[in-house]
Homo-oligomer: A and B are copies of this chain.
Amino acid sequence: MQKNYKMILGYDGSRYSGWEHKTGRDTIQGKLVQVLGHLTDEPVHIIGAGRTDAGVHAKGMVANVVLDTELSDMELKDYVNHYLPEDIVVYEMTEVPERFHARYNAIGKTYQYRIYDGRQKPLFDRKYVWTTEKKTDVERMREGATYLQGTHDFAAFCKNPQKKKSTVRTVDRIEIERDNDYVTLTFHGDGFLYHMVRIMTGTLVQVGLGRMEPSQIAKALATGERTLAGVTAPSQGLTLVQIDYPAR
């Protein structure tokens, strides 16, 4: 009997060409299709809550997949973890109602971006941070973040906006915390455009380095001019942390 499974996943995105399956490339979705494909003769369709770019990590990606299997939830999870490579982990795999759709039902997402601005080169976490040349001023970054919070047209904070699709999004929370030489930016919103978290981060870092005025963010939002926003922060500092769904 066909059953619908919700999966919560973590992955180290360093060596992957992102979430979405591409022929001839290593992708997270591709690895999952490969492993789950051993359980069934039918084609396996995995629906992710969203797509993460090449090099982006995850601690709480959500996906769903319809499978016809006799295995219990626990056996299924153990099976998948056993055959997945060591840089992809399935934390939860549970049967859910047929109507559950990881993308359509998602109502919120949390991303974290980690910056390292210490004097020494980072070592053991060098693949999970963006190292800036100078110290960043967290107070200035927080000031810049106040402009980004709320409901705006984020066209200036998006790569290749599509004319027919809305670029309005709501970012209801941006937290910026320093822990010694590490600065973590946490973004929560109803959804994010292509490269949006990385462009918001790159912009806030330029503000934090004193290379851009916080108020320029308001101008970028108002005009939709990509060139008024900052650089795109590299993918390796970014982690998808959580996807929210309505309480049942």
Residue from B12, B59, B123 within 8 A of A10 (CB atoms): B123
Residue of B nearest to A239 (CB): B124
Contacts of A106 in B (CB 8 A): none
Asked whether A79 is an interface residue with its Cβ less than 8 Å from the other chain, the reply is no
Q: How many copies does the complex hold?
A: 2
Measured in the bound complex, the distance between the Cα atoms of B202 and A212 in whole Å is 54
For A, the interface residue count at a CB cutoff of 8 angstroms equals 17
**Closest chain B CB from A241 CB (angstroms):** 13
Asked whether A188 is an interface residue with its Cβ less than 8 Å from the other chain, the reply is no
Q: Which of A101-126 contact B (CB under 8 A)?
A: 120-121, 123-126
Measured in the bound complex, the distance between the Cα atoms of B238 and A222 in whole Å is 53
Stretch of A16-24, A37-45, A81-89, A189-197 on the interface side: A81-89
Asked whether A128 is an interface residue with its Cβ less than 8 Å from the other chain, the reply is yes
**Closest chain B CB from A55 CB (angstroms):** 14
Is B91 within 8 A of A126, CB to CB?
A: no
Residue from B11, B57, B126 within 8 A of A86 (CB atoms): B126
Listed A/B pairs (14) with beta-carbon separation below 8 Å: A11-B123, A12-B123, A12-B124, A12-B126, A81-B121, A86-B121, A86-B126, A87-B123, A87-B126, A89-B120, A89-B121, A89-B123, A91-B120, A124-B125
The 9 nearest A-B residue pairs measured at CB: A89-B121, A10-B123, A89-B123, A86-B126, A91-B120, A81-B121, A12-B123, A12-B124, A89-B120
